Structure 1
Amino acid sequence: MSLLDHPDRLHEHVSAFRAAHPRADVRARFGASVTALLDRRPDAVAVTADLMHATGLAGLKERHPDRLINVGIAEQNLTGVAAGLAACGKLPVVCGYAAFLTLRAVEQAKVDCAYNELKVILCGLASGLSYGVGGPTHQTYEDIAIMRAIPNMIVVAPSDPVELDHALQAAAEHPAGTPIYLRLGRGPEHVFTRPGDPFAIGRAARLTEGRDVCLVAHGAMVMECLLAADLLRPEGIAAEVLNMHTVKPVDRGAILAAAAHVRAMVVVEEHSVIGGLGAAVLEVLERGHAFPILRIGVEDAYPPIGPTPELRESLGLSGPRIADRVRALL
């Protein structure tokens, strides 16, 4: 009998699964990660748009006062200044909200950074629905579609606060000549990544094995897919979970390898279903596939305003709702 058919047992199981993966604050981890990067790299500079506290960088002012630049609430100027720093041999880490960094400053990201082949790490925090109470001005569900359409732009969406560390370090070590957009959350998120887990830009991580369905996700949705796989296992449904933390360049090999042995594929993203990870997966499989593909994400409408967990649940972006969709699909 499926847990999905027994609300009380389902609630207990979900609560236990989440409790086994304690949460950590994204902003605090980001601030610590940027500080550690500046400790290691004398050429690294943090640049922000008056968001020191909101991005966890408040302590950086005392530790590296000469390498924290606040341009004020001016994201276009922020990105242009970062490009200038990169042209002078610095490693700029741009710290801002994803909604403003990708929408207000898209021209500077394209022309100043990508076109000029400059190494700028663009960190967009509060992405997806992680700032759900901020409404459509602060919710960000189109940033991946925007940024991955820019030539010479890498797009990475870490799955939890520990993988955030890995992604920032990998971005700093990546060969020069391309800007990198890191899509990050805001509040506490569940942690399942271990400090020693391997991480490489452009290479997905297979977290579980299964021959029935492949769940492809990035960001906080990876945790929800792990929960969905756990709920489906007692029913005899084996789900492979792919952490596709790099959306561009997407790991074609991992997608094609999964496509060779599963009965269905489900892409889950806290982003619009238009132009995001689901679109990237379909582009890999554009020559045809012999199984159904379901994309779960933000439909072509503005989500409501509210707390992040409730928003995710209402939009079908929770483990139990994903498991329901998978069961129906199969």
Structure 2
Amino acid sequence: MGEHTDYNLGLVLPTLIPQRTAVALEPRADDVVRIHAAGFGEISYRLGAEAPSREWSDYAKGCTATLRTSGVALRGFDADVTSDIPVGAGVSSSAAFLVALLRAMRDAFALQFDDTTLALLAQRAEVEFVGARVGIMDQLVASRGHLGEALLIDTADLSVERVELPLSIALVVIDSGVRHAHASGDYNARRAECEEAAHALGVSSLRNVRDLDALERLPPLLARRVRHVVTENERVQEAATALSGGDVQRLGRLFDASHASQRDDFDVSVPEVDALAEALRHAGAYGARLTGGGFGGSVVAVTKLGTEVDVSKAARRLYERQSGRKASVVVPPH
């Protein structure tokens, strides 16, 4: 919970999925970096010669460039990357890659920075080098999170509260098959709209908006953007309370409300994703919502423990029949 609130210095409540990105790294004596990523191929470049290419290699180059410009003395290395996280599905594959590579470099070169700093470096690499103006949520949960818990993160000060997931629930994540690209413009446009709205309201970030009556001073489009951020922050707090109390019905309603807000106020959903969310509800989920940056990707739903396999299968069949698209179940993995 907490979509598009992190770059507005709001509250977020992410959790981890079971899939992983792993990096095996061996230092070299020279300044050459060679990385092989399963499914993507191999790249080679020299430290100090990183140049954006709008390819997957930008994420690796962004890591080394960010460390260098932060004053870290690096040597070259050979690395092998494997991952079972689907790319472009809204489940943070890029953040996982960045965090895994930075962690491997930290370990191999005995670099002195903690997990929060690691997350900030990963965010900086994606914002400044890749060109996607992402927030800090994905990187921070990838760096500091554990399975079986959610992190209640205040992105204004990066404080973290661990919230245990109730044993009575299970999460289902289904990839709609519709692909996005954060750096293509739509994601960045939403952030720019939020900044424009904050400026118009005279606040440093939308985190500081408390009174929805203030939206009357804004153009309708910006008012809708602000309404999503303000109400999503409220939903994050309510979701953390629902998790702590094991109130799965309330959590499901919050999931549904979050999806409606992303669809109607933030305009980041697409018809296929809406259909998938509805299919999950029809299959028995307590609630379902778009997850990730939007414009495609995956839907996450909360279900009763023990029903997640049946719910995911039924929802996928219904979605594929209605949309004509091929969906894939991300969680539970199989």
TM-score (norm 2): 0.28
Q: Which has the higher contact order (CA 8 A, sep 6+)?
A: 2
TM-score (norm 1): 0.28
